A and B are shown apart, each in its own frame.
Chain A
Amino acid sequence: MFWHLPSVPAKSPAAKGCFPEDNPLQKRMLAPQQVEKIGIGLLILISLITVLPIILIVVYIFIQGVPAFSWEFLSSMPSNGMKSGGLWPAIIGTFYLTLGTAIFSVPLGIAAAVYIAEYAPNNQWTRLIRIAIINLAGIPSVVYGLFGLGLFVVFLKFGTSILAASLTLSIMTLPVIISTTEEALRSVPTSFRVISVSLGATRWQTIWRIVLPQAVPGILTGVILGLERAAGETAPILFTGAAFFLPRLPQSPFDATMALPYHLFVISTQVPGMPIQIQYGTVLVLLLFVLGMNLAATTIRSRARANRQW
């Protein structure tokens, strides 16, 4: 077996003094193989410490949250000062926000990635674009909230609305979509492009007919993960579109809306006497949403790998 090194052969008198056993000091230190065993054990321990809480969290949320679950919980309006009743407006609100985010960020993000991966020359401007994307990826979510407030709510006078919140979330989601799409495009073999062009197709035709279709699974995975994050964010929607106590569902993009993460935040910190069960129920809904998206992304990824035509 590769990992088991052969033992030291019988020593000749000429080699006396060369081996660790000969040196009295060395005898007290650990042999490399023993150090390795301890080290690997340590790494395994560290990895367990990292993932164990995750498993515990998921299990705990399920245990605490399932009792609150019922069809009514998910589909009716809240009542009694939010202390009982359903999550429906929050669920629908998160759905609208995610949809809005998708509408703005997906086409723009894919187009930007196509430019970077297929058209951009290797110069300073392209480096600048990359730095800008990295930057956008690192901006704290609350700063996006400030930006959204300044531009969409105040300057463009959209007010606290689904529109303002979606636009804010889309700019925040853009870097994720751009980088995963770029990676997906780059993974399509260059030979396809060369062959397509040698048969008389133009660059755009090649991208549209061959490269993009082959990159779709990777793009889809990135979009799902990006939207998953957008749906779970609270800070960007705090001052741009989220509201807690709305008597009815939003009727237009210019209305404010309830949203699951914001709802959870308020009921767990600002509503005295909020039943614990409902809080956990809300958490469970969010968790199921995240797990569902992750599962979708993973399935798409592995199916694509199996069906690759190259």
Chain B
Amino acid sequence: MDKIVIEHLTLTYSDGTESLKDVSLSIPANTITVLFGPSGGGKSSLLRILNRLNDLADVTTLKGKALINGKDILSPEIDVSALRRKVGMVFSRPVPLPLSIFDNVSYGLVMAGVNNKKRLAEAVEMALTQCVLWDEVKDRLNAPGIALSGGQQQRLCMARVLSLEPEIILLDEPTSALDPLATAKIEELLRELKEKFTIVIAPHNTQQAARISDTAAFFLQGELVEYAPAETMFTLPKDKRTQDYITGRFG
């Protein structure tokens, strides 16, 4: 079975907006899957389903199943905190917690109950190295997280997630607040990370989607219009709506 399987998912918010309409989707492990489309399409909602962050929002209906490793994560018996440690999320604006760099990266582990100092130090170093940030910050781990530049802050946010050794990484428009150089660094990082993790990303423009994806899903107003490998999606899309969006007829 694929890593992530979504079956007939429908989601409505309390103000009446129907965010996801009968979405079914299957994502294999160790790939970069891209969710793209105009805003309001449901991409963020789908991401937040996968780590149950939608619990924080005012949701009235939630139908269907979302299976990770074969287990339905929408069922009430799931330990949500443990799920979130396995399915990490990087947000569009890099927001360091009001703590030092070290405490930022080790936050998830400390909250999970790990207080072995050696273990934490190792995990922090490993995560920061994976994010190509270690050399830049190793001498100032006690500096506050906001002392870093925008691009560094976003890599810090990724290190925060990686220190928990998740299986899936979700990214919601992770480079929208960054300059092209920082964006390129993050995209390269993602290509390396897919060897160990399954990555689902909602990029903030179609060009980024085309650059980094293995598979792509086009969302339009809550509906999954098309889901195909990247080679065919961006060159020969099957659905007319997809083609209109990619060529810029609407946006």
Contacts and interface: CB of A to CB of B under 8 A. Distances in A.
A200 B81 contact: yes
A193 to B, nearest CB: 8
Given A199-B85, A200-B81, A214 B98 contact: yes
A201 B97 CA distance: 13
A115 interface: no
Contacts of B145: 309
A202 to B, nearest CB: 6
Q: How large is the interface on B (under 10, 10 to 19, 20 to 34, 35 or more residues)?
A: 20 to 34
Contact of A196 (B107, B157, B164): B107
Contact of B112 (A191, A198, A200, A309): A200
Interface in B48-103: 51, 53, 56, 81-82, 84-85, 88-89, 91, 93, 95-98
B236 interface: no
Interface in A9-53: none
Contacts of A198: 51, 53, 84, 88-89
A205 B95 contact: no
Given A209-B111, A309-B144, A199 B95 contact: no
Given A195-B91, A197-B56, A200-B82, A310 B98 contact: yes
B9 interface: no
A293 to B, nearest CB: 27
A200 B111 contact: yes
A60 interface: no
B236 to A, nearest CB: 37
B131 interface: no
B164 A309 contact: no
A245 interface: no
B95 A192 contact: yes
B146 A194 contact: no
A197 B89 CA distance: 10
Given A192-B95, A210-B97, A309-B144, A199 B107 contact: yes
Interface in B225-239: none
A20 B200 CA distance: 68
B95 A200 contact: no
Nearest to A201: B111
Contacts of A202: 81, 111
Contacts, number: 62
A210 B82 CA distance: 20
Contact of B97 (A196, A200, A205): A196
Interface in B113-140: none
A295 B85 CA distance: 45
B82 A194 contact: no
A199 B56 contact: no
Nearest to A309: B98
Contacts of B53: 194, 197-198
A310 B91 CA distance: 16
B98 A200 contact: no
Contact of B111 (A194, A199, A213): A199
A205 B111 contact: yes
Given A198-B89, A199-B164, A191 B51 contact: no
Interface in A90-141: none
- Between A194, A197, A205, A209, the greatest number of chain B beta carbons within 10 A of the residue's beta carbon is seen for A197
Interface in A197-253: 197-202, 205, 209-210, 213-214
B108 interface: yes
B160 interface: yes
A195 B53 CA distance: 10
B178 interface: no
A121 to B, nearest CB: 11
A192 B98 contact: yes
Contact of B95 (A195, A209, A213): A195
Contacts of B157: 195
Contacts of A205: 111
Nearest to B89: A198
Contact of A195 (B81, B85, B97, B144): B97
Contacts of B96: 309
Contacts of B85: 199-200
A201 B98 contact: no
Contacts of A210: 97-98
Pairs A-B, 4 closest by C-beta atoms: A309-B98, A199-B108, A201-B111, A200-B85
15 contacts: A191-B91, A191-B93, A195-B95, A195-B157, A196-B97, A196-B107, A199-B85, A199-B88, A199-B164, A200-B82, A200-B111, A200-B112, A201-B81, A201-B111, A310-B146
Given A198-B88, A198-B89, A199-B84, 18 more contacts: A191-B91, A194-B56, A194-B91, A196-B107, A196-B111, A199-B107, A199-B111, A199-B161, A200-B84, A200-B111, A200-B164, A201-B108, A210-B98, A309-B96, A309-B144, A310-B95, A310-B98, A310-B146
Interface of B: 51, 53, 56, 81-82, 84-85, 88-89, 91, 93, 95-98, 107-108, 111-112, 144-146, 157, 160-161, 164
